[in-house]
A = this chain, B = another copy of it.
Amino acid sequence: MTRADQMKLFMEPRSIAAIGVSRATGPGTFNLLENLLGYGFPGRLYPVNPNAGEILGVKTYPRVAALPEVTDLALISLPRHLVSATVRDCVEKGIKAIVIITQGFADADDAEGKRLQREIVDIVRGTGTRILGPNTFGVANARLNMSTSYIRISMEPVAVGTISQTGGTFIGLNDIRLAGKAIDVGDACDITVVDCLEYFEQDDQTKVVVIHTEGMADAREFLRVVRRVALKKPVLALKTGRTPQSARAVQSHTGALTGSDRLWDVALKEAGVVRVGDIEELADAMRAFLTLRPPAGAGIGLTTYTGGFGIIAADACGKYGMELVEFAEPTLKGLRALSPDWMGVGNPFDIWPGVSIVGLPRTEVERTGLRYVLADPSVHAAMMVIGAYDAHMGEEHLPMIREAAQTHPEKPFVYFAYGPHFEEVRRTLESTGTTLAFPSPERAARALMHLRARAHFLARQTDPGNA
């Protein structure tokens, strides 16, 4: 069995034994079985509990040996001193995939936790059985309506595979689910980030891979594998434990070795990984890689509702290495025809004088302006700056977004929208599936920068001179 095949037992199980499920159900009880039933997991479920005949209408079994089949997966949620014996029971039963949810192993402050962790590793060594955890939410697979986390989460079948060192990511961020498919490696006593990477590498349902890590024992092996995966699909990484004080906190969380932050920066970049600095940047970059194509260059063209916010957007582009191009003469000629005579037309292109002074309809200035900007050969990406002062204004933009996607699919086109109706306008604009709207130009420019960096990485592989 390859590592990726073994991982399928965790990610796509047909049957699950849930060991240590409580009879207590309802709010505040964090009952795994109740969650799995609630999601509508279609596989077979076997709660193991010596004190109950059934839980939530599902027949329970007093011990692992009594299970009517060798399940694909076993979940262990028992006090830590009972875990080793149960792992042994699973191995004897022939179960090949175990999630140990229980905390208090390498993450504990005492010697006993470390000893228990060594003990479970020794039990499975050479048996073909593998362990995810301990101290983990386990796995989630939205396409299978399955999550082993004791907190009930919201899943969506987004094409994102997340490898994480905290179950917190299962909950998702604002506007974005990380559990498409997700794996929490926890204390990573056996299954590591590398195993998970190899699963997502071959998984056709995963278009973008996200890694949250606090550090790892074998960074060299990780970098070798992640580079291979990054050639096939975008890999985004949030490496935490960056400061001395947070690195100390990592010790009590997963016991991982955080390593030098500067070295991580260099190594991840070299491996073609998109390193993000925080969760907001992570969410934005994920959305960008799911929706937009990486641009062929850093040239950007801006159109704007107000000169002042155009300059704010220009600052943001400068900050993130997107270059405001000098428009070519045919572009300028077209834009001048939309503007008052006295206006110094350039990049950013201010649409408003054409509306308020020349008297053209706003949508005409916008659409024609964008057409000229996107046609400019030095423009590789475009940003439109709009004031979201009306909840319905997004609708007028739909035809021009569709036109941009048809005529220039290779040029990512994004919005920076500000104002009280941002959320409604964003939803409308993004309903096209070909653009994204951001509430700040920094976030828009940063997302484009990450797309650009990936295009650059891929280009270097085919032409090493292009460094």
Interface residues of A (CB under 8 A from B): 28, 30, 79-80, 103-104, 107-110, 112-113, 150-154, 164-169, 171-174, 177, 212, 214, 238, 240-246, 248-254, 277-280, 305-312, 314-319, 323-324, 340-348, 350, 353, 356-357, 361-362, 387-389, 418-420, 422-423, 439-443
* Docked-complex contact A310 and B249, CB < 8 angstroms: yes
* Docked-complex contact B253 and A307, CB < 8 angstroms: yes
Complex Cα spacing A323 to B152, Å: 33
* Docked-complex contact B343 and A250, CB < 8 angstroms: no
Given A109-B344, A315-B241: A310 in contact with B439 (beta carbons within 8 A) = no
* Docked-complex contact B109 and A353, CB < 8 angstroms: no
How far, in Å, is A291 (CB) from chain B's closest CB? 19
Q: A109-B345, A167-B308, A246-B314 are in contact. List 14 more A-B contacts (CB 8 A).
A: A28-B361, A80-B342, A104-B343, A109-B344, A110-B341, A112-B342, A168-B309, A174-B422, A174-B423, A240-B315, A244-B318, A252-B307, A253-B307, A253-B350
Complex Cα spacing A362 to B253, Å: 19
Q: How many copies does the complex hold?
A: 2
* Docked-complex contact B318 and A420, CB < 8 angstroms: no
* Docked-complex contact A214 and B252, CB < 8 angstroms: no
Closest B residue, CB atoms, query A305: B168
Given A28-B362, A253-B310, A306-B166: A243 in contact with B387 (beta carbons within 8 A) = no
The 3 closest A-B pairs by CB, nearest first: A166-B308, A109-B344, A243-B318
* Docked-complex contact A344 and B389, CB < 8 angstroms: no
* Docked-complex contact A169 and B389, CB < 8 angstroms: no
Q: Within 8 Å CB of A241, what residues of B?
A: 311, 315
* Docked-complex contact A308 and B212, CB < 8 angstroms: yes
* Docked-complex contact B110 and A342, CB < 8 angstroms: yes
Complex Cα spacing A150 to B355, Å: 12
Given A103-B353, A103-B356: A246 in contact with B108 (beta carbons within 8 A) = no
Q: Within 8 Å CB of A277, what residues of B?
A: 442
